[in-house]
């Protein structure tokens, strides 16, 4: 095997999601993503809400968590 052009491994970036059912705002990483498949066909990637446990679709458009600070909710 010969590498023609070397790429880069994407850095794992945590993202923020708001549950559309219970309105919980939470932070998730790529390790939290679940692949939803039916009859061998992938439907979507999602995360499970930590409060109501609903499966919510993820998107690359979900807001990224800044690298220098952890996400913390407003009080």
Q: How far apart are CA 20 and CA 55, in angstroms?
A: 10
- Of the chain, the end-to-end C-alpha distance in Å amounts to 55
Q: How far apart are CA 71 and CA 50, in angstroms?
A: 15
Is the pTM higher than 0.75? The answer reads no
User: pLDDT in tens for each of the 75 residues of the chain?
Assistant: 988 888 887 777 899 999 999 999 999 998 999 887 777 777 888 999 999 999 999 988 888 888 655 555 554
């Amino acid at each position: 095997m010969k590498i023609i052009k070397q790429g880069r491994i994407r850095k794992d970036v945590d993202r923020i999601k708001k549950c559309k059912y219970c309105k919980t705002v939470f932070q998730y990483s790529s390790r939290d993503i679940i692949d939803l498949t039916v009859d061998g066909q992938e439907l979507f990637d999602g995360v499970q809400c930590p409060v109501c446990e609903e499966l919510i679709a993820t998107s690359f458009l979900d807001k990224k968590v800044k690298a220098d600070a952890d996400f913390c909710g407003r009080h």
